[in-house]
Amino acid sequence: MKSLIILVACALFCSCNGQMEVSFITSCTQEDRRCLKSSAQRAVPVIAAGVPQLSMKPLDPMQLPRILANQAGLKMDFRNSVVKGLRNCLVEDIVRHGDAMSITMKCSATVVGDYSLDGRLLVMPIKGEGRYKIKIRDIVVKFSFEMGHRESGGEKYWTFETWRYTSRVDNNVNFQFQNLFNGNKELSDSVHQFANGNWRDIFKELSPPILDAVMKEIVTEVRKLFNNVPMRKLALD
């Protein structure tokens, strides 16, 4: 999903010089968007598997212990969630200007875990607790971020300042919630038919807390890179 966007973006700055060697990255100038895109695409499966030399943990699968939200009359509690599929994300476009960058990626992913829902799903009452699965096909995420600078020990480092993202789904989303309404099949079937028949609106309702959690996990990993590797070992130009 959007899970690899920031890490791929940061990896684009890496060179193979100095102590922190990142051999799976090709150095590119910011004007060479074709090179940036190609380098990022090669980095996706490597980063998804984890980069021990950068102290970056694996992101496929990604573990999300708990996500709590209460919005639009719906209480949501997702626990022990696992996101799979990020290693297959496709880089569609990259634009970099100095310390600012935006990356657009298309991903398909599956999220599974335990859930509790209570309230209204748009106009449909919903209540249940059990296992859940959300299958997302072709989510396109545009992630933009800016970096600041700091100095320590005579070295300059990037600091992760601001970030934002937008998303859309080009294909579809399928929702599966076990044990809705204490296992009432008729009510459960009605909810699933409604949710999967109106997946775009339902995804807008349910996805923000999940997507935000994914992005925060990635930001945490990116800060490990910036905190430990000087700019001179990351900057291409």
Distance CA(168)–CA(196), nearest Å, equals 16
Phi then psi for residue 210, to 5 deg, are -70, -50
pLDDT of residue 54: 79
pLDDT of residue 45: 87
pLDDT of residue 46: 81
Helix (H) or strand (E) holding 227: helix 199-228
Distance CA(91)–CA(234), nearest Å, equals 20
Contact 7, 103 (CB under 8 A): no
Q: Pick out the chain residues at pLDDT < 70.
A: 1-27, 233-237
Report how far apart, in Å, the C-alpha atoms of 203 and of each of 52, 116, 134, 179 are: 34, 16, 10, 20
CATH value at residue 212 = 3.15.10.30
pLDDT of residue 136: 97
Task: Kindly report the pTM of this predicted structure.
Answer: 0.86
**Hey, CA dihedral for 66, 58, 227, 25, is it positive or negative?**
negative
pLDDT of residue 2: 52
Give me the domain span that covers residue 211.
2-233
Counted domains in the chain? 1
Joined tokens for residue 204? 């807008």
pLDDT of residue 73: 87
Neighbours of 196 (CB within 10 A): 14
Q: What share of the chain is helix, strand, coil (3-state, %, to 5)?
A: 35, 45, 20
* 51 Cβ neighbours under 8 A, 6+ residues apart: 22
pLDDT of residue 138: 97
